[in-house]
Structure 1
Amino acid sequence: MFFRTKSGYDILHNKKNEVSYMRVKPRDFVIYLRSFQDCFAASELEGITSPAYTVIHFVDDNQDFYFWKYIFTSLKFVNSLVKVTYEIRNDKSISYSDFKNLKWCLPNRREQK
C-alpha cells in the first residue's frame, strides 16, 4: 500500500464519496481487483481505500504480520487463489467469504518467526 500522492498519477475523486471508504491500518491486508493475478497488498500505513477493495486484519494477536505478508505475496499463495477465483472477471474482487474458505495450516507465532 502507498499514499495516493506517491502513485505518480493524478487520481481525481469526489471527496463526498470518502464516507463509504474503508479504513486501512498498519498490518492490514487489502484484497484488490487483481489479487487473483498478483497477491494481496500488505499495509504498513494508515489511510482509506475504496469500497471496491476488501480490507482484512487478524483479530488474533498471535499472528505475525511479516510471516503473513510473506505468505500473501508469494507465488504459491497466488496460485492457491485459483480455487476461489474460478470465473472471476477483472471487475470483481475476491470476496472475504471466498477467502475465508481456503484451508490454512496456522503455525504458532514462534514458528512464524
Structure 2
Amino acid sequence: MSAIVDRLYSSINGETYSFHQLFEVANEKNKKLIYKNVLSASQELGMIERSDINIDIKFEQDSISGYKIVRNGDYVVHLRSFQGGFAFSDRTGICSPAYTILRPNDLVGYGYLSHFFTSKLFIKSLKLVTYGIRDGRSINVDEWLNMTVTLPNIQEQVRILTIINAIDAKLHIEIKKQSCLFRQKSYLLNTMFI
C-alpha cells in the first residue's frame, strides 16, 4: 500500500503551492463547552475518540474549555513526526491544546492529503523542519508552512483518493477473510482430534 501511495503522489502534475497557501492554522477554543468528545491522534486511523485508544487519560472536565476545536476535514499536527506527524480528522470534537490544527481551503479536496502525509516521500521531507531527538521530535509548523507541494485539480484529487480508498477497502476485506480462515482452521484442527 505504501508503495502505491508513494507512486500516486510522486507522479502528480499540477500547480505548486506553499502549505501556507493551502492551510490556515486554527486556534478555536472550546470556551462555551459546546464539545465534550475528546479526540486523540492516531497515525493509522487519524483523529479518533480518546476513549477508543484504550488509554485512560485523566483530565478535569472544566479544563476542556481550553481544548482546541477540531472540525471534520481538518488535519492535526502531533508529535510523531517520524510517522508523518499529521492526522486527518473525519469528525468534529476537541483535542489537546498541544496539537496544531490545520484547516484546508477549497484548493484541497476532502481527505486528499491524508495519505500523502503518511507517505515516505512526505516523511522524508519533514527532516528539514523537525527538531529534537527520537520520539520527542517536533515539527516546526511555521517552517513547514513555507514548504511546497504540487497539487492537482480537485477532479484528479478525487480520482487519486478513490483509488487509494478502493485498495484500502480491499486490504481490509482480505484481512477479515484471513482471520475467518484462521478461525476455521483452528476449529477444524480442534474437532479433528476428538
> What's the CA shift string for 1:74-99, capped at 9, x where partnerless?
121111100111x3345563233122
Instruction: Give the one of 102, 113, 118 matched to 1:56.
Output: 102
TM-score (norm 1): 0.85
Cα distance in 2 for residues equivalent to 1:110 and 1:52: 34
Segments of structure 1 that go 5 or more residues without pairing to the other structure are none
**How far has the Cα of 1:72 moved from its partner?**
1.1
How many residues are treated as equivalent by the alignment? 110
Residues 52 and 93 in structure 1, CA contact (< 8 A), matched pair in contact too: no
> What's the CA shift string for 1:57-81, capped at 9, x where partnerless?
11x2231123211211212111110
Aligned AA (2:124): N
Segments of structure 2 that go 5 or more residues without pairing to the other structure are 1-46, 159-194
Matches within 5 A, 1:60-75: 60-75=105-120
Choose between structure 1 and 2: higher strand proportion. Answer: 2
Aligned AA (1:102): M
Residue 106 of structure 1 pairs with residue 157 of structure 2? no
Identity among equivalent pairs (%) = 34
Instruction: Give the one of 29, 44, 47 matched to 2:75.
Output: 29
Instruction: Give the one of 52, 55, 58 matched to 1:12.
Output: 58
Cα distance in 1 for residues equivalent to 2:118 and 2:127: 15
The answer for the alignment partner of 1:88 in structure 2 is 132
TM-score (norm 2): 0.52
- Secondary structure in 2 matching 1:55: strand
Residues 53 and 93 in structure 1, CA contact (< 8 A), matched pair in contact too: no
Aligned AA (1:9): I
The answer for the alignment partner of 2:123 in structure 1 is 78
- Secondary structure in 2 matching 1:27: coil
Cα distance in 1 for residues equivalent to 2:61 and 2:95: 12
The structure having more radius of gyration, on CA atoms, is 2
- Secondary structure in 2 matching 1:9: coil
C-alpha root-mean-square deviation of aligned residues, in Å?
A: 1.7
Choose between structure 1 and 2: higher helix proportion. Answer: 2
